[in-house]
Amino acid sequence: MQVPLKVTYKNLQPQYKESIEGEVNTLAEKIEKFFPAIVSCRVVVGMPHKRHQDGNLFRATITLNVPRKQIVASRENPFHQVNENIYVAVRHAFDDAARQLEEYSLKLAREVKAHDLLPHGVVTKIFRSEGYGFIESFGGREIYFHQNSVLDGFGKLKKGNEVRFEEEEGEKGPQASSVKILRKARAYHRRR
């Protein structure tokens, strides 16, 4: 975590604070191993009311800040019998937080589309009459492509276009297939 774990205790007697502190730290370490991108974690453990007749009921709330989202997990139903045990309330809140983190990480994984992982480059040479050209990848390699590989039409392609492509090994070295135009050619001017 970029920000150290912060634990707040509300309406708790000292014996509860001492006994639960190690459990909170252990569970926070486990959740960070599961999702290392956690920026900060704030845990609030407490008793909403002192209820001497029915026993003590505990509440645990976890607030996690992760990239582009805040996740809040809470076990605060005062009528839920499980919350009579402070350890169970804390574990259930961490379980809820882990479940929400899992859903969030799956959502993030779906946002990374396969085409974003394809190589990018710039068209450096076009031989229109012969029907082929070359792309310079952002890694500095020169890659051949044939006119039939250009998805948007070979005639639309211009020197300087930024393209995305799939690379495969051809007879004479690397060649691009499925070339897709990303941006039109730009004229670069030097300012003096």
pLDDT tens readout for residues 32-46: 888 888 999 999 988
The verdict on 89 and 21 lying in the same domain is yes
Give the model's pLDDT for residue 190. 39
pLDDT (0 to 100) of residue 33? 87
Q: Say if residue 90 is in the same domain as residue 156.
A: no
* The domain boundary residue, chosen from 64, 88, 111: 111
Contact residues for 111 (Cβ-Cβ < 8 A; gap 6+)? none
pLDDT greater than 70 at residue 3: yes
Q: Let me know if residue 189 belongs to a domain.
A: no
**Is residue 192, in this structure, part of any structural domain at all?**
no
Measure the CA–CA gap between 32 and 9, rounded to whole angstroms: 21
What is the pLDDT, as a whole number, of residue 140? 77
Residue 124 lies in a domain: yes
CATH of the domain at 127: 2.40.50.140
Whether residue 90 sits in one domain with residue 27: yes
Q: Tokens representing 126?
A: 């076009």
Mean pLDDT, range 160-181, rounded to an integer = 87
Cβ-based neighbours of 96, under 8 Å, separated by 6 or more: 62, 73, 74, 75
Q: DSSP E strands: which ranges in the chain? A: 6-10, 40-46, 59-66, 69-75, 120-127, 132-137, 142-146, 162-170, 173-183
For the chain, the domain total comes to: 2
Query: Which pLDDT belongs to residue 6?
Result: 93
pLDDT at site 54 = 55
Provide the whole-model pTM. 0.54
Percent of the chain with pLDDT over 90: 26
Average pLDDT, the chain: 81
| pLDDT tens digits, one per residue of 6-55 | 998 888 888 778 888 889 999 999 988 888 889 999 999 888 765 555 56
Torsion sign (Cα): 104, 106, 107, 109: positive
* pLDDT average, residue stretch 138-154: 87
Angle at 132 between CA 130 and CA 133, to 5 degrees: 125
Residues 63 and 138 grouped into a single domain: no
Q: How far is CA 142 from the centre of its chain?
A: 32
How does residue 191 score in pLDDT terms, banded at 50, 70 and 90?
very low
Q: What is the pLDDT of residue 1?
A: 80
If asked whether residues 140 and 161 sit together in one domain, one would say yes
Within 10 angstroms of residue 139's Cβ, the number of other Cβ atoms is: 9
**Residue 188 located in a structural domain:** no
Domain that holds residue 100: 6-111
